Structure 1
Protein backbone atom coordinates (compact mmCIF):
# COMPACT_ATOMS: atom_id res chain seq x y z
CA UNK A 1 0.00 0.00 0.00
CA UNK A 2 1.40 3.37 -1.03
CA UNK A 3 1.18 6.19 1.54
CA UNK A 4 1.22 9.71 0.06
CA UNK A 5 1.59 12.66 2.45
CA UNK A 6 0.90 16.20 1.23
CA UNK A 7 0.45 19.56 2.95
CA UNK A 8 -1.80 22.51 2.15
CA UNK A 9 -0.73 25.87 3.61
CA UNK A 10 1.99 24.07 5.55
CA UNK A 11 5.28 22.19 5.25
CA UNK A 12 5.70 18.50 6.08
CA UNK A 13 8.86 17.65 8.01
CA UNK A 14 10.69 14.38 7.43
CA UNK A 15 10.09 13.50 11.08
CA UNK A 16 6.32 13.87 10.79
CA UNK A 17 6.26 12.09 7.42
CA UNK A 18 8.09 9.14 8.97
CA UNK A 19 5.69 9.12 11.95
CA UNK A 20 2.70 9.06 9.58
CA UNK A 21 4.05 6.16 7.54
CA UNK A 22 4.89 4.14 10.65
CA UNK A 23 1.50 4.72 12.26
CA UNK A 24 -0.54 3.97 9.16
CA UNK A 25 1.20 0.70 8.33
CA UNK A 26 -1.44 -1.14 10.39
CA UNK A 27 -4.24 0.06 8.10
CA UNK A 28 -3.32 -2.63 5.59
CA UNK A 29 -4.22 -5.32 8.14
CA UNK A 30 -7.90 -4.31 7.90
CA UNK A 31 -7.73 -3.29 4.24
CA UNK A 32 -5.54 -5.87 2.44
CA UNK A 33 -6.82 -4.73 -0.98
CA UNK A 34 -5.93 -1.08 -0.38
CA UNK A 35 -3.63 0.37 -3.01
CA UNK A 36 -3.09 3.93 -1.80
CA UNK A 37 -3.61 5.98 1.35
CA UNK A 38 -3.64 9.75 0.83
CA UNK A 39 -2.78 11.87 3.88
CA UNK A 40 -3.53 15.57 3.56
CA UNK A 41 -2.55 18.04 6.26
CA UNK A 42 -4.12 21.49 6.23
CA UNK A 43 -3.03 24.30 8.55
CA UNK A 44 -5.59 26.90 9.63
CA UNK A 45 -3.95 30.29 10.14
CA UNK A 46 -6.91 31.90 11.92
CA UNK A 47 -5.81 32.35 15.60
CA UNK A 48 -9.43 31.94 16.71
CA UNK A 49 -9.24 28.33 15.55
CA UNK A 50 -6.02 27.48 17.38
CA UNK A 51 -7.60 24.42 19.00
CA UNK A 52 -8.38 23.06 15.52
CA UNK A 53 -5.47 24.57 13.61
CA UNK A 54 -4.19 21.26 12.23
CA UNK A 55 -6.64 19.26 10.10
CA UNK A 56 -5.81 15.86 8.65
CA UNK A 57 -7.79 13.97 6.06
CA UNK A 58 -7.12 10.29 5.34
CA UNK A 59 -8.45 8.80 2.10
CA UNK A 60 -8.04 5.09 1.44
CA UNK A 61 -8.32 3.97 -2.17
CA UNK A 62 -8.24 0.55 -3.74
CA UNK A 63 -10.59 -2.11 -5.01
CA UNK A 64 -13.99 -1.17 -3.66
CA UNK A 65 -15.48 1.95 -2.08
CA UNK A 66 -13.35 4.88 -0.95
CA UNK A 67 -12.93 5.11 2.84
CA UNK A 68 -12.32 8.54 4.36
CA UNK A 69 -11.74 9.98 7.82
CA UNK A 70 -10.75 13.44 8.97
CA UNK A 71 -10.05 15.20 12.24
CA UNK A 72 -8.67 18.46 13.61
CA UNK A 73 -6.67 19.31 16.74
CA UNK A 74 -4.26 21.91 18.07
CA UNK A 75 -1.26 19.88 16.83
CA UNK A 76 -0.80 17.59 13.86
CA UNK A 77 0.15 14.54 15.90
CA UNK A 78 -3.12 14.76 17.84
CA UNK A 79 -5.10 15.28 14.64
CA UNK A 80 -3.45 12.22 13.08
CA UNK A 81 -4.34 10.08 16.10
CA UNK A 82 -8.00 11.14 15.90
CA UNK A 83 -8.28 10.61 12.15
CA UNK A 84 -6.49 7.26 12.37
CA UNK A 85 -8.93 6.06 15.06
CA UNK A 86 -11.91 7.03 12.89
CA UNK A 87 -10.47 5.30 9.84
CA UNK A 88 -9.75 2.08 11.71
CA UNK A 89 -13.24 2.08 13.24
CA UNK A 90 -14.83 2.42 9.79
CA UNK A 91 -12.67 -0.38 8.44
CA UNK A 92 -13.64 -2.62 11.38
CA UNK A 93 -17.31 -1.87 10.84
CA UNK A 94 -16.93 -2.67 7.14
CA UNK A 95 -15.24 -5.97 7.99
CA UNK A 96 -17.93 -6.87 10.53
CA UNK A 97 -20.64 -5.89 8.10
CA UNK A 98 -19.28 -8.33 5.53
CA UNK A 99 -19.26 -11.09 8.15
CA UNK A 100 -22.76 -10.36 9.44
CA UNK A 101 -24.41 -9.43 6.17
CA UNK A 102 -26.19 -12.76 5.83
CA UNK A 103 -27.36 -12.79 9.45
CA UNK A 104 -28.75 -9.26 9.73
CA UNK A 105 -31.11 -8.10 6.97
CA UNK A 106 -31.16 -4.41 6.10
CA UNK A 107 -34.33 -2.67 7.47
CA UNK A 108 -36.75 -1.62 4.77
CA UNK A 109 -36.65 2.17 4.35
CA UNK A 110 -39.79 4.23 4.92
CA UNK A 111 -38.93 7.59 3.41
CA UNK A 112 -35.16 8.03 3.06
CA UNK A 113 -31.41 10.05 1.63
CA UNK A 114 -27.08 7.99 -0.04
CA UNK A 115 -24.54 10.17 -1.78
CA UNK A 116 -21.41 10.98 -3.62
CA UNK A 117 -18.44 12.14 -1.66
CA UNK A 118 -17.79 15.88 -1.68
CA UNK A 119 -14.12 15.73 -0.72
CA UNK A 120 -12.35 19.05 -0.29
CA UNK A 121 -8.94 18.06 -1.62
CA UNK A 122 -9.63 18.29 -5.36
CA UNK A 123 -8.60 21.36 -7.36
CA UNK A 124 -11.23 24.04 -7.71
CA UNK A 125 -12.13 26.44 -10.51
CA UNK A 126 -13.88 29.70 -9.70
CA UNK A 127 -16.18 31.44 -12.18
CA UNK A 128 -18.11 34.64 -11.72
CA UNK A 129 -21.40 36.07 -13.02
CA UNK A 130 -22.87 32.80 -14.24
CA UNK A 131 -23.28 29.27 -12.95
CA UNK A 132 -21.25 26.87 -15.08
CA UNK A 133 -21.72 23.13 -14.90
CA UNK A 134 -18.53 21.12 -14.27
CA UNK A 135 -17.29 18.97 -17.16
CA UNK A 136 -14.40 17.11 -15.51
CA UNK A 137 -14.84 14.37 -12.93
CA UNK A 138 -13.69 15.27 -9.42
CA UNK A 139 -12.96 18.94 -10.16
CA UNK A 140 -15.07 21.41 -8.18
CA UNK A 141 -16.36 24.51 -9.94
CA UNK A 142 -17.45 27.53 -7.90
CA UNK A 143 -19.65 30.22 -9.41
CA UNK A 144 -20.95 33.49 -8.00
CA UNK A 145 -24.60 34.34 -8.65
CA UNK A 146 -24.40 37.75 -10.28
CA UNK A 147 -23.59 40.53 -7.81
CA UNK A 148 -24.88 38.54 -4.83
CA UNK A 149 -22.56 36.99 -2.20
CA UNK A 150 -24.00 33.55 -2.99
CA UNK A 151 -21.41 31.00 -4.15
CA UNK A 152 -22.52 27.76 -5.83
CA UNK A 153 -20.05 24.88 -5.70
CA UNK A 154 -20.57 22.02 -8.15
CA UNK A 155 -18.76 18.77 -8.76
CA UNK A 156 -19.25 16.04 -11.36
CA UNK A 157 -19.01 12.37 -10.32
CA UNK A 158 -19.30 9.09 -12.14
CA UNK A 159 -22.34 7.17 -10.92
CA UNK A 160 -22.53 3.39 -10.89
CA UNK A 161 -26.08 2.15 -10.16
CA UNK A 162 -26.29 0.39 -6.80
CA UNK A 163 -28.72 -0.97 -4.23
CA UNK A 164 -29.85 0.94 -1.15
CA UNK A 165 -27.84 -1.48 0.98
CA UNK A 166 -24.65 -0.67 -0.92
CA UNK A 167 -25.37 3.06 -0.76
CA UNK A 168 -25.75 2.91 3.02
CA UNK A 169 -22.51 0.98 3.23
CA UNK A 170 -20.58 3.53 1.17
CA UNK A 171 -22.11 6.42 3.13
CA UNK A 172 -20.77 4.93 6.37
CA UNK A 173 -17.31 4.44 4.87
CA UNK A 174 -16.88 8.13 4.05
CA UNK A 175 -18.51 9.29 7.29
CA UNK A 176 -21.15 11.47 5.63
CA UNK A 177 -24.74 12.00 6.86
CA UNK A 178 -26.08 11.48 3.32
CA UNK A 179 -25.18 9.77 0.06
CA UNK A 180 -26.40 10.40 -3.51
CA UNK A 181 -26.74 7.48 -5.92
CA UNK A 182 -28.68 5.90 -8.79
CA UNK A 183 -30.97 3.07 -7.71
CA UNK A 184 -29.99 -0.15 -9.47
CA UNK A 185 -33.58 -1.39 -9.76
CA UNK A 186 -35.58 1.75 -10.56
CA UNK A 187 -32.80 3.85 -12.19
CA UNK A 188 -34.05 6.81 -10.14
CA UNK A 189 -31.70 9.40 -8.60
CA UNK A 190 -31.87 8.81 -4.84
CA UNK A 191 -30.25 10.03 -1.66
CA UNK A 192 -29.98 8.11 1.61
CA UNK A 193 -29.46 9.84 4.96
CA UNK A 194 -29.26 9.29 8.69
CA UNK A 195 -32.43 9.91 10.65
CA UNK A 196 -31.94 8.82 14.26
CA UNK A 197 -30.49 5.76 15.96
CA UNK A 198 -30.22 2.96 13.41
CA UNK A 199 -32.90 4.33 11.08
CA UNK A 200 -32.28 5.87 7.69
CA UNK A 201 -34.26 7.71 5.07
CA UNK A 202 -34.36 7.59 1.28
CA UNK A 203 -35.47 10.39 -1.04
CA UNK A 204 -36.22 9.58 -4.66
CA UNK A 205 -36.62 11.77 -7.72
CA UNK A 206 -39.30 10.67 -10.15
CA UNK A 207 -37.97 11.71 -13.53
CA UNK A 208 -38.48 10.67 -17.10
CA UNK A 209 -35.35 9.65 -18.98
CA UNK A 210 -35.41 10.59 -22.67
CA UNK A 211 -33.29 8.34 -24.88
Structure 2
Protein backbone atom coordinates (compact mmCIF):
# COMPACT_ATOMS: atom_id res chain seq x y z
CA UNK A 1 0.00 0.00 0.00
CA UNK A 2 1.11 3.52 -0.73
CA UNK A 3 0.11 6.19 1.75
CA UNK A 4 -0.62 9.77 0.70
CA UNK A 5 -0.98 11.76 3.92
CA UNK A 6 -2.03 15.41 3.99
CA UNK A 7 -2.89 17.82 6.77
CA UNK A 8 -5.32 20.72 6.99
CA UNK A 9 -4.71 23.15 9.82
CA UNK A 10 -2.26 20.64 11.28
CA UNK A 11 1.39 19.80 10.71
CA UNK A 12 1.75 16.11 9.90
CA UNK A 13 4.61 15.15 12.17
CA UNK A 14 6.81 12.12 11.71
CA UNK A 15 5.14 10.48 14.74
CA UNK A 16 1.65 10.98 13.28
CA UNK A 17 2.77 9.67 9.90
CA UNK A 18 4.34 6.56 11.47
CA UNK A 19 1.25 5.92 13.62
CA UNK A 20 -1.06 6.11 10.56
CA UNK A 21 1.18 3.87 8.48
CA UNK A 22 1.60 1.28 11.23
CA UNK A 23 -2.12 1.10 12.04
CA UNK A 24 -3.32 1.03 8.42
CA UNK A 25 -0.59 -1.38 7.34
CA UNK A 26 -2.66 -4.00 9.19
CA UNK A 27 -4.90 -3.86 6.13
CA UNK A 28 -1.95 -4.35 3.77
CA UNK A 29 -2.55 -8.10 3.64
CA UNK A 30 -6.04 -7.48 2.22
CA UNK A 31 -5.20 -5.30 -0.76
CA UNK A 32 -3.07 -5.76 -3.84
CA UNK A 33 0.36 -4.14 -3.58
CA UNK A 34 -0.21 -0.96 -5.63
CA UNK A 35 -3.30 0.23 -3.71
CA UNK A 36 -3.16 3.91 -2.77
CA UNK A 37 -4.50 5.09 0.59
CA UNK A 38 -5.37 8.79 0.94
CA UNK A 39 -5.30 10.05 4.52
CA UNK A 40 -6.37 13.58 5.41
CA UNK A 41 -5.89 14.94 8.92
CA UNK A 42 -7.62 18.16 9.87
CA UNK A 43 -8.31 20.19 12.96
CA UNK A 44 -11.41 22.36 13.37
CA UNK A 45 -11.64 24.11 16.72
CA UNK A 46 -11.27 21.26 19.25
CA UNK A 47 -12.20 18.45 16.82
CA UNK A 48 -9.54 16.28 15.22
CA UNK A 49 -10.86 14.73 12.00
CA UNK A 50 -9.23 11.84 10.18
CA UNK A 51 -10.46 10.81 6.73
CA UNK A 52 -9.22 7.68 4.96
CA UNK A 53 -10.11 7.07 1.32
CA UNK A 54 -9.10 3.94 -0.57
CA UNK A 55 -10.14 3.95 -4.22
CA UNK A 56 -10.60 0.43 -5.54
CA UNK A 57 -11.92 -0.93 -8.79
CA UNK A 58 -15.46 0.36 -9.24
CA UNK A 59 -15.85 1.73 -5.71
CA UNK A 60 -14.33 3.70 -2.87
CA UNK A 61 -13.76 2.65 0.73
CA UNK A 62 -14.09 5.76 2.89
CA UNK A 63 -14.00 6.32 6.62
CA UNK A 64 -14.17 9.51 8.65
CA UNK A 65 -13.61 9.72 12.38
CA UNK A 66 -13.82 12.73 14.72
CA UNK A 67 -12.18 12.78 18.10
CA UNK A 68 -10.64 15.09 20.67
CA UNK A 69 -7.22 13.54 19.95
CA UNK A 70 -5.68 12.62 16.57
CA UNK A 71 -4.09 9.44 17.95
CA UNK A 72 -7.49 8.23 19.16
CA UNK A 73 -8.96 9.00 15.74
CA UNK A 74 -6.22 6.94 14.09
CA UNK A 75 -7.06 3.96 16.31
CA UNK A 76 -10.80 4.24 15.58
CA UNK A 77 -10.52 4.69 11.82
CA UNK A 78 -9.03 1.21 11.29
CA UNK A 79 -12.18 -0.40 12.72
CA UNK A 80 -14.38 1.74 10.49
CA UNK A 81 -12.35 0.80 7.39
CA UNK A 82 -12.59 -2.88 8.30
CA UNK A 83 -16.39 -2.63 8.56
CA UNK A 84 -16.51 -0.92 5.16
CA UNK A 85 -14.37 -3.70 3.68
CA UNK A 86 -16.70 -6.38 5.05
CA UNK A 87 -19.71 -4.63 3.51
CA UNK A 88 -17.93 -4.27 0.19
CA UNK A 89 -16.76 -7.88 0.17
CA UNK A 90 -20.29 -9.12 0.90
CA UNK A 91 -21.59 -6.99 -1.95
CA UNK A 92 -19.00 -8.46 -4.30
CA UNK A 93 -19.81 -12.00 -3.19
CA UNK A 94 -23.52 -11.40 -3.69
CA UNK A 95 -22.96 -10.14 -7.22
CA UNK A 96 -20.33 -12.76 -8.11
CA UNK A 97 -17.80 -10.18 -9.26
CA UNK A 98 -14.41 -11.17 -10.60
CA UNK A 99 -11.12 -9.24 -10.71
CA UNK A 100 -11.43 -8.28 -7.06
CA UNK A 101 -9.08 -5.55 -5.81
CA UNK A 102 -8.55 -7.65 -2.68
CA UNK A 103 -6.11 -10.42 -2.11
CA UNK A 104 -7.33 -14.00 -2.12
CA UNK A 105 -8.98 -14.43 1.25
CA UNK A 106 -10.92 -11.78 3.11
CA UNK A 107 -13.18 -14.29 4.89
CA UNK A 108 -11.13 -14.28 8.10
CA UNK A 109 -11.95 -10.59 8.49
CA UNK A 110 -15.66 -11.22 8.08
CA UNK A 111 -15.65 -13.56 11.07
CA UNK A 112 -13.69 -11.09 13.20
CA UNK A 113 -16.05 -8.17 12.62
CA UNK A 114 -19.55 -8.24 14.05
CA UNK A 115 -22.20 -9.22 11.54
CA UNK A 116 -24.13 -6.17 10.47
CA UNK A 117 -27.65 -6.23 9.18
CA UNK A 118 -28.01 -6.62 5.47
CA UNK A 119 -29.08 -3.46 3.66
CA UNK A 120 -32.74 -3.69 2.78
CA UNK A 121 -34.83 -1.23 0.83
CA UNK A 122 -38.03 -1.00 2.83
CA UNK A 123 -39.73 1.82 0.97
CA UNK A 124 -39.84 3.03 -2.60
CA UNK A 125 -41.16 6.35 -3.77
CA UNK A 126 -42.01 7.78 -7.20
CA UNK A 127 -42.52 11.44 -7.96
CA UNK A 128 -42.49 13.86 -10.86
CA UNK A 129 -39.31 15.87 -11.36
CA UNK A 130 -40.14 19.55 -11.63
CA UNK A 131 -37.76 21.81 -13.53
CA UNK A 132 -36.35 24.41 -11.14
CA UNK A 133 -33.16 26.20 -10.24
CA UNK A 134 -30.87 24.85 -7.47
CA UNK A 135 -31.76 27.74 -5.13
CA UNK A 136 -35.47 26.95 -5.55
CA UNK A 137 -34.76 23.27 -4.88
CA UNK A 138 -33.00 24.21 -1.60
CA UNK A 139 -36.03 26.24 -0.57
CA UNK A 140 -38.36 23.34 -1.45
CA UNK A 141 -36.13 20.95 0.51
CA UNK A 142 -36.30 23.22 3.57
CA UNK A 143 -40.09 23.51 3.28
CA UNK A 144 -40.40 19.70 3.20
CA UNK A 145 -37.94 19.28 6.09
CA UNK A 146 -35.73 16.84 4.15
CA UNK A 147 -31.95 16.50 4.04
CA UNK A 148 -31.84 16.20 0.23
CA UNK A 149 -34.04 16.97 -2.77
CA UNK A 150 -34.03 15.54 -6.30
CA UNK A 151 -35.05 17.88 -9.13
CA UNK A 152 -34.60 18.61 -12.84
CA UNK A 153 -32.24 21.56 -13.31
CA UNK A 154 -34.00 24.39 -15.15
CA UNK A 155 -30.77 25.47 -16.89
CA UNK A 156 -29.40 22.10 -18.04
CA UNK A 157 -32.45 19.83 -17.99
CA UNK A 158 -30.39 17.21 -16.11
CA UNK A 159 -31.43 15.47 -12.90
CA UNK A 160 -29.60 17.02 -9.91
CA UNK A 161 -29.64 16.62 -6.14
CA UNK A 162 -29.26 19.32 -3.50
CA UNK A 163 -28.42 18.34 0.07
CA UNK A 164 -27.70 19.86 3.45
CA UNK A 165 -24.03 19.76 4.35
CA UNK A 166 -22.76 19.03 7.86
CA UNK A 167 -21.71 22.63 8.29
CA UNK A 168 -24.70 24.69 9.36
CA UNK A 169 -26.35 26.77 6.69
CA UNK A 170 -24.53 25.35 3.67
CA UNK A 171 -25.81 23.20 0.84
CA UNK A 172 -24.29 20.94 -1.79
CA UNK A 173 -25.29 20.26 -5.39
CA UNK A 174 -24.73 16.93 -7.12
CA UNK A 175 -24.59 17.05 -10.92
CA UNK A 176 -24.12 13.60 -12.46
CA UNK A 177 -21.91 13.08 -15.49
CA UNK A 178 -23.04 10.69 -18.19
TM-score, length-scaled by structure 2:
0.54
* Structure 2 alignment gaps of length 5 or more: 97-117, 127-154, 156-168
Note the C-alpha offset of 1:84.
1.5
Q: Does 1:65 find its partner at 2:84?
A: no
Where is the helix percentage greater, Structure 1 or Structure 2? 2
**70 and 151 in structure 1: CA distance in 2 versus 1, 3 angstrom threshold:** closer
Q: Give the corresponding residue for 1:80.
A: 74
* 1:7 to 1:112, Cα distance in 2 relative to 1, 3 A: farther
1:51-200 mapped onto 2 (5 Å cutoff): 53-101=47-95, 110-111=123-124, 151-158=170-177
Higher RCO structure, 1 or 2 (CA under 8 Å, sep 6+): 1
In structure 2, distance between residues paired with 1:28 and 1:111 = 39
Alpha carbons 1:8, 1:42 under 8 Å: kept: yes
Task: Give the secondary structure class of the aligned counterpart of 1:66.
Answer: strand
Alignment partner, residue 4 of structure 1: 4
Question: Are positions 1:39 and 2:46 aligned together?
Answer: no
**Offset of 1:91 from its aligned partner?**
0.3
| Shift in Å, 1:26 | 2.2
TM-score normalised by structure 1 residue count: 0.46
Instruction: Return the offset for 1:110.
Output: 4.3
User: Is the Cα contact below 8 Å between 2:39 and 2:50 reproduced in 1?
Assistant: yes
Asked if the contact 1:59/1:66 (under 8 Å) is kept, the reply is: yes
Note the C-alpha offset of 1:28: 3.0
Paired residue total:
116
What's the Cα RMSD here?
3.1
Q: Which runs of 5+ in 1 are unaligned?
A: 114-132, 134-149, 160-211
CA contact (8 A) 2:52 2:64 kept: yes
